[in-house]
């Protein structure tokens, strides 16, 4: 089968699909086979962009972390805040 002129996958598309699958069905629903099926590709295609499932999960976690507002820590000592939260 010839390679398509435009790439079917990108890291961003894989991360987005993985995140949507996790949101809809939970973390246990995510497998590389299932994710590939959701994206309309074969499983090995994912490995061109990610080494393994753990790397995909790390990328999803990093995307989530980008949305966390950390501006609070500009005026507060993060060590003290974490200590107080952990003590609860």
Whichever domain contains 26, its CATH number is 1.10.10.60
Rounded Cα distance, 80 and 2, in Å: 58
Number of domains in the chain: 1
pTM over 0.85? The answer is no
How is the chain split among helix, strand and coil, in percent rounded to 5?
Answer: 70, 0, 30
Q: Is 82 contained in some domain?
A: yes
Q: Is 83 contained in some domain?
A: yes
Residues 6+ apart with CB under 8 A from 38: 17, 20, 21
Classify residue 28 by its DSSP letter: G
pLDDT band, very low/low/confident/very high, at 72 (cuts 50, 70, 90): confident
Q: Is 2 contained in some domain?
A: no
Q: Is the predicted pLDDT of residue 1 greater than 60, yes or no?
A: no
Q: Is 3 contained in some domain?
A: no
Q: Is 71 contained in some domain?
A: yes
Domain that holds residue 79: 11-87
pLDDT band, very low/low/confident/very high, at 49 (cuts 50, 70, 90): very high
Classify residue 76 by its DSSP letter: S
Residues written for the chain: 88
Q: Is 6 contained in some domain?
A: no
């Amino acid at each position: 089968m010839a390679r398509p002129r435009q790439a079917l996958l990108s890291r961003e598309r894989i991360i987005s699909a993985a995140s949507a699958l996790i949101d809809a069905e939970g973390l246990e629903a995510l497998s590389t086979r299932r994710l590939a099926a959701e994206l309309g590709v074969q499983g090995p295609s994912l490995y061109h962009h990610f080494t393994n499932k753990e790397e995909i999960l790390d990328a999803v976690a990093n995307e989530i972390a980008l949305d966390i507002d950390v501006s609070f820590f500009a005026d507060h000592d993060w060590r003290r805040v974490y200590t107080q939260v952990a003590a609860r």
